């Protein structure tokens, strides 16, 4: 019999029969079956962790509770977007929680900025669009070429918009290791991308 933390699951998203963790199995059940029992299990697993994480980050207990509930509600509504091959459940949920916190802070403390209007004639021409697309492709290829450990922290720091402290707490890795991986990864990216925008 398999250990309870590892289960066999084949999702409707095209995954083959693969061993998934208990939390991933629950997330896939929510995504594919809208399974309320699985959501309740995931809520029990993550809501207290999110609340504790937010309190350590400076939120009051009541606000942390509200953000944690909002984040888990978003998990339910965004479940269709989850891909177990792109992110583990913990990282995906904590990114949603961070965004929920940012949204709440904006609502409570900061006026939303007015939409910026472009000046006439400021639209990029076809040549600029092609150049930007080429640069984006080169950047994706450079990131893909990083060592896995470096790529993970850089993607989560810059694409997931997590701080070094948040990464350290989520991943269980010392702050010094996080900073070192980001520094080495960025040095590699600068080397690989040094030809960009060079006349």
Tokens of 184: 């080495």
pLDDT digits (tens, 9 = 90+) for 90-127: 889 998 988 888 887 776 654 444 433 434 444 444 55
Provide the residue ranges of all domains of the chain, joining segments of one domain with +. 140-193
Strand partners for 18: 9
Q: What is the mean pLDDT of the chain?
A: 75
pLDDT in tens, 137-157: 677 777 778 888 888 887 777
Cβ-based neighbours of 55, under 8 Å, separated by 6 or more? 61, 64
Q: Domain 140-193: state its class.
A: mainly alpha
The residue assigned the tokens 């697993």 is 45
Q: Alpha-carbon distance 66 to 70, whole Å? A: 6
pTM of the model: 0.49
Tell which residue, 100, 55, 98, 41, has the closest CA to residue 74.
100
C-alpha span between 42 and 21 (Å, rounded)? 12
3-state secondary structure of 58: coil
Say whether 10 sits in a helix, a strand or coil: coil
The arithmetic mean of pLDDT across residues 36-62, rounded, is 88
Q: Which of 1-5, 24-28, 62-66, 107-111 has the highest mean pLDDT?
A: 24-28
Burial of 30 (0-12, 13-18, 19+ CB in 10 A): buried
């Amino acid at each position: 019999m398999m250990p309870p933390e590892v289960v066999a699951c084949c999702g409707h998203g095209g995954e083959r029969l693969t061993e998934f963790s208990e939390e991933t199995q629950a997330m896939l059940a929510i995504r594919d079956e809208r399974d309320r029992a699985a959501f309740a299990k995931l809520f029990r697993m993550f809501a207290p962790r999110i609340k504790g994480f937010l309190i350590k980050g400076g939120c009051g207990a009541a606000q942390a509770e509200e953000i944690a509930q909002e984040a888990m509600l978003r998990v339910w509504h965004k479940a269709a977007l989850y891909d177990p091959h792109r992110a583990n459940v913990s990282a995906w949920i904590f990114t949603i929680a961070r965004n929920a916190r940012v949204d709440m802070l904006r609502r409570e403390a900061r006026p939303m900025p007015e939409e910026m209007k472009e000046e006439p004639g400021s639209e990029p021409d076809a040549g600029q669009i092609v150049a930007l697309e080429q640069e984006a492709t080169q950047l994706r290829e450079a990131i893909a070429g990083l060592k896995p450990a470096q790529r993970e922290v850089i993607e989560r720091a810059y694409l997931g918009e997590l701080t070094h402290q948040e990464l350290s707490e989520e991943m269980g890795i010392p702050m010094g290791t996080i900073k070192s991986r980001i520094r080495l990864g960025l040095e590699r990216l600068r080397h690989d991308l040094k030809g960009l925008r060079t006349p």
